Every structure is written in structure tokens, then in C-alpha cells.
Amino acid sequence: MPDLKGALIGCGFFAVNQMHGWNDVKGAAIVAICDRDPKRLKIVGDQFGIVRRYTDAAQMFADGGFEFVDIATTVNSHRALVEMAAAHRVPAICQKPFAPTLADAKAMVAACAAAGIPLMIHENFRWQTPIQAVRKALDSGAIGTPFWGRFSFRSGYDVFSGQPYLAEGKRFIIEDLGIHTLDIARYILGDVTALSARTKRVNPKINGEDVATILLDHDSGATSIVDVSYATKQATEPFPETLIEIDGTEGSLRLSQGYELQVTNAGGTVNSDVAPTLLPWASRPWHNIQESVFAIQQHWTDSLRHGKETSTSGADNLKTFALVEAAYESAASKATVDIGTLL
Ligand code: NAD
Ligand code: 89Y
């Protein structure tokens, strides 16, 4: 079968990882790129040898010649670009965060459904090797039925030098990073029925919150905590590791710093190294994220070829994005938010 032809919109900081990922993916290749900034277009076009280059997405869609689009722009352009893809009946991948509001995200899902095209949100963290290892351990039944969990991302890493816009928005850590941690909580312990949250801004140089503590009730009856911080200075910087604790009826599981997984039950304790692979184009400490970019793009390609729904389809990701909205609502009102009322 020939490779699926793809086009990528948004040639910024993170798209370089996506372009490397596409080079490694079996069954797909990027044939056209677009960025409204000619400098970024040239840098990425030259680095990856892409001849078809556009500064206008509408022109690129009008010219066509590709079977999917990968939207790697920042959030404010997501709805217009996904709707453009739907209008041209081109299957679309859209970076997180889904959209500026839940209403926009719902409209995007509806537009793609009406056009009969798949939409996948590039929610890559659940594809990280250590997170997949936790999922596998739970699926094996090693700790029985989970009743409690903690999903923790606490860092002092300077994310603002690579992504200066993160310091500017009214919203920061929940929308940018906590969105991944909330998705991991859903992926591991299932859908969420209610949530309460508290936030803080510690770094005076940014506009949004950089600390959040969120309490989740899961459909299954399990309770979990999602805690995220970019204001935490530690002896050894853990960026970008998500640490996980799960207690189950038959045992417990701990994913700790350094990508170590410990599973304990009546049979004893098993420790394993679940570190991500350092792909040839990747660099530490980003390699954990970079490997998951390749993994989700391979998943998209395989799903598109076989007509299967992706793990983080637009419809699925509405349930993660609702948790982001709910966390901001709860932090403002100090009330518990019923997730069902948002969906
Ligand atoms: P960036 O600002 O560096 O790059 C965005 C690029 O998109 C810019 O070059 C800009 O000119 C271009 N652009 C914006 N609107 C456009 C439009 N309508 N048409 C054409 N080009 C347009 O941003 P970034 O840091 O690369 O982040 C991009 C997205 O990736 C964000 O949503 C961010 O949250 C996400 N991100 C995801 C991960 C992850 O692990 N999934 C990691 C980092 C960033
Ligand atoms: O934008 C964020 C993301 O999605 O992963 C890490 C990040 O780059 C900074 O928080």
C-alpha cells in the first residue's frame, strides 16, 4: 500500500518533533506544510525537505493532494482549521489543548461527524512508555481493582524559554500540562463523574496559575488526585515525568522518578525499568514526550488505514477537556463540579 499523504499546519517549536515522528511512522508521509510565518516555514521545509509550502491554510486545502492534516498550531486557531478540514472532508489531527472553550470543542466534534471524517486530538502523554506500562500492569490484574490513585507532575523546568506564550495566557498549567495529567487519570482509572480543584500562581512573572491540586471521583468508585506544579524546585529535576501511585484491592503500584515501576501484591514486589527509548532524533529530557509523539502518530496512521476510532478521538477527548473546564470552574467557585452537566 502506498503511504498516506499528510499535510502539517504550524511549523513552530513542537511541530519539529511531529515532523521527526512522521519520518519514522510506517505508512504515512508529509507532502505539504503550512505556516503563516515564512521564517518558520523555511526552517522546517528545509530541515525536512518538503517542497510544497504554504503561508495560507485555505490555499493548501484548495490545492489538496493529501489524505489527512496534522494541525500543530496553538489553541486559538484550532477550531477554524479543524472546520476547514471538515469542509474539505480531510481527516484531521489537532494538537492539545482541544480549543479555547468546551463549546468550541463540541462544535469541532460535530463538524467532523457531519463531514464523516475522523478527528484525533494529539493527546500523546497516555502513549508514553511508562504510562503504557502502568496500564499493562493494571490490565494483568496484579493489584486487583484500583480504589485510589495519584497522578503527579511537579517540576521547576523552564518551559517559558521554548514556549513564551505559556507565560502570557490567563490560564496556564491546567490548560497546558494538567490536561495531559487529567487524561492519564482517565486512561488509568476511567471516566470522571465529579471534580474539585484549587490553584495558585507562585511565579510572579507569569499571568496564569502554575500550581493545581484536583480531586477526582471516577465512575468506577475510585478516588484520585491530580497534582501539577511548575513552581517546584527539587534535588533532581523530574521534567517531564508523570509519577503515579495506585492502590488496589490486591496490591499497589508505584511509578517513581527515574522511570521505575514497582508492583507489590501477595506474591511479593517486582521492580522494572520502564524508561522510554531515546529515539535517534530525540534529546533528554524531552525523549519521553518525543517517543510518545511517534507512537500516537503511528496509531493515527494504523487507525486511519483500518477505519478504526483512535484512542484520543475528538469524542473521547471532550471528556478530558471537560475536566480542564471543570477544574477552572471549581477553583473559582470552590464548589465540586458535576462533569455530566458539562458534556
Ligand atoms: P509555536 O507558537 O512555537 O508554533 C505554532 C506555529 O503555528 C507558529 O509558527 C505560528 O506561526 C503557526 N500558526 C499559528 N496559527 C496559524 C494558522 N492559522 N495558519 C498557519 N500557521 C499558523 O507553538 P508550539 O509551542 O509549537 O505549540 C503548538 C501546539 O502544540 C500548542 O497547542 C501546544 O500546547 C502544543 N504542544 C503539545 C505538546 C505535547 O506534548 N503534546 C508539547 C508542546 C506543545
Ligand atoms: O506544552 C506542554 C506540553 O504539552 O507538554 C509539556 C509542555 O511542552 C510544557 O508544559
Sign of the dihedral through C-alpha 55, 61, 64, 67: positive
pLDDT value for 162: 97
**DSSP run (H or E) holding 211:** strand 211-218
Ligand number, closest to the Cα atom of 12: 1
Distance 110 CA to ligand 2 centre (A): 27
Q: How far apart are CA 207 and CA 334, in angstroms?
A: 20
| Mean pLDDT within 186-206 | 98
Q: What percent of the chain has pLDDT over 90?
A: 99
Residues 140-174: tens digit of each pLDDT? 999 999 999 999 999 999 999 999 999 999 999 99
3 state SS of 283: coil
Task: Judge if the beta carbon of residue 175 lies within 6 A of ligand 2.
Answer: no
Q: What percent of the chain has pLDDT over 70?
A: 100
Residues 279-325: tens digit of each pLDDT? 999 999 999 999 999 999 999 999 999 999 999 999 999 999 999 99
pLDDT value for 342: 98
Check: CB of residue 218 under 8 Å from CB of residue 146. no
pLDDT value for 132: 98
How much is the ipTM here?
A: 0.99
Checking if the pLDDT of 78 tops 90, the result is yes
Q: How far apart are CA 153 and CA 1, in angstroms?
A: 41
Cell readout for 293 is 509523539
- Whose CA is closest to atom 6 on ligand 2? 177
Q: How would DSSP label each residue in 98-120?
A: --SSHHHHHHHHHHHHHHT--EE
Residues 203-217: tens digit of each pLDDT? 999 999 999 999 999
Cell readout for 322 is 471537560
List C-alpha distances in Å: 228 to 176, 232, 281, 333: 11, 9, 28, 20
Cell readout for 178 is 494538567
| Measured torsion, CA atoms of residues 183, 188, 189, 190, in degrees rounded to the nearest 10 | 60
Tell me the pLDDT band of 2, cut-offs 50, 70 and 90. confident
| Mean pLDDT within 49-76 | 98
Distance 88 CA to ligand 2 centre (A): 30
Checking if the pLDDT of 25 tops 90, the result is yes
Domains within the chain, CATH numbers bracketed: 4-117 (3.40.50.720), 126-294+320-341 (3.30.360.10)
| Mean pLDDT within 7-25 | 98
- Buried/exposed 309-323: b ≥16 CB within 10 Å, e otherwise: ebbbbbebbbbbbbb
| Mean pLDDT within 85-108 | 98
Tell me the pLDDT band of 1, cut-offs 50, 70 and 90. confident
Checking if the pLDDT of 107 tops 90, the result is yes
Task: Judge if the beta carbon of residue 90 lies within 6 A of ligand 2.
Answer: no
Residues with beta carbon inside 6 Å of ligand 1?
9-15, 34-37, 40, 57, 72-75, 77, 95-96, 122, 124, 163, 176, 289
Ligand 1 atom with the smallest distance to the CA of 55 is 20
What lies within 8 Å, CB to CB, of 110 at 6+ separation is none
Closest CA to 320 of 189, 140, 170: 189
For ligand 2, mutation pick of 78, 131, 154, 177 (most atoms within 8 Å of CB): 177
